[in-house]
Structure 1
């Protein structure tokens, strides 16, 4: 059963963490959004690039969700891990702890094989090229994406995890579109200390809320908002 509270949280995490995305992918989005010869912003290419990224994120979610459901049937431990990762991401965005860098280094192994493919798609001259570039760029090693993946993993199924990653990706779209339209001004805004700390604080609260639920407190610690165990019944997510 899909936990729509978690889906909404994934959307919010994507939006709040999108300042990190601007740093990682802002150069590409800015290049796609440069004014054309006619003086008009290439919105079609920007949207296609974002659609490609969202497709990759959704695929990642489906894969990790299916694997998680097969390997770890209890959601409680998965949600605790997801919450810990969100807390780590908040500290990362705030600049207080850089421990997630090792995760990005681990993902760099796959990126070595994909980067040449992305290079062949540049410069982008069509929406189909932008779509393909976004699909490849979605696999760029990124601590924020990996944190979102653990959040998706805690959904307990491929479909719900795919929806969570789609929601996360949608949350990052506004900042990426704005970056394409006004790269320098947006990058300057999200890099301000106050803005970063505000977003980091919100993600930290999401992480603590997730850990709290994973430990069995509140409705979302089980399989969904209506799955609290009744008297005399056993709920496997509370006994693993």
Structure 2
């Protein structure tokens, strides 16, 4: 899968799925924001938390990129098809048309139950820098959107490209999560409205169909 297209797709997926990210991380984001005190302290905590979260995404992307390279070599048609299908399913999920990806999140909850106590030990935060390891742990929160991104990363066939596409995904999620630290209730009300969710979902479906077309074209050639 062409790296430039994958970077754009994953950044757009993170941006469009920001409401989902805020819904998943809204509790911890609100707690970090309310407990920080001053505006500068709030910003420091939010930046540290999100830096940790994006680092986790990038490391997971590099890992599955390495796995895709080891298992599939240069024959990446099947991982690309899986990435396209998951992107379509994520679009349906965000648009509230079909919530099939909940089974992926339930599967990821098995690992999360082991990791969550590590994050809980850091709460309440005594120092701003503790938000960084908290973000590292919270990056593993079961999320269908993250798993869709990881399918893209596996389809890159290299650790570097896999890490880069998940970095792009993480950067795409930043606006919603950072703004959520200040306007959590107002932003969630806007993002969860039917119109924005449907629009974001349909755009992700378009990206998914384009990904499928690219994968099938590459396989045909």
Query: Same fold, TM exceeding 0.5?
Result: yes
Change (3 A) 1:76 1:43: same
- CA radius of gyration, larger in: 1
SS for the counterpart of 1:149 is: helix
Please give the alpha-carbon distance, in whole angstroms, between the structure 1 residues aligned to 2:213 and 2:112: 34
Q: Match for residue 4 of structure 1?
A: 4
Give 1:95 shift. 1.1
Matches within 5 A, 1:54-93: 54-73=54-73, 74-93=75-94
Change (3 A) 1:175 1:39: closer
Please give the alpha-carbon distance, in whole angstroms, between the structure 2 residues aligned to 1:93 and 1:2: 26
Please give the alpha-carbon distance, in whole angstroms, between the structure 2 residues aligned to 1:70 and 1:238: 23
Unaligned runs of 5+ in 1: 222-236
Q: Match for residue 128 of structure 2?
A: 127
Judge conservation of contact 2:36–2:45 (CA < 8 Å) in 1: no
Unaligned runs of 5+ in 2: none
Matches within 5 A, 1:105-184: 105-184=106-185
Please give the alpha-carbon distance, in whole angstroms, between the structure 1 residues aligned to 2:142 and 2:59: 15
Cα RMSD for the two superposed structures = 1.6
Give 1:97 shift. 1.1
Give the TM-score normalised by the residue count of structure 1. Answer: 0.87
Give the TM-score normalised by the residue count of structure 2. Answer: 0.94
Matches within 5 A, 1:34-45: 34=34, 36-38=36-38, 42-45=42-45
Q: Match for residue 95 of structure 1?
A: 96
Give 1:77 shift. 1.9
Please give the alpha-carbon distance, in whole angstroms, between the structure 2 residues aligned to 1:75 and 1:38: 49
Please give the alpha-carbon distance, in whole angstroms, between the structure 1 residues aligned to 2:142 and 2:38: 35
Cα offsets for 1:11-32 (capped at 9, x unmatched): 1111011110011001111221
Across the two proteins, how many residue pairs are aligned to each other? Answer: 220
SS for the counterpart of 2:197 is: helix
SS for the counterpart of 1:61 is: helix
Please give the alpha-carbon distance, in whole angstroms, between the structure 2 residues aligned to 1:35 and 1:124: 8
SS for the counterpart of 2:34 is: coil
Higher helix share: 2
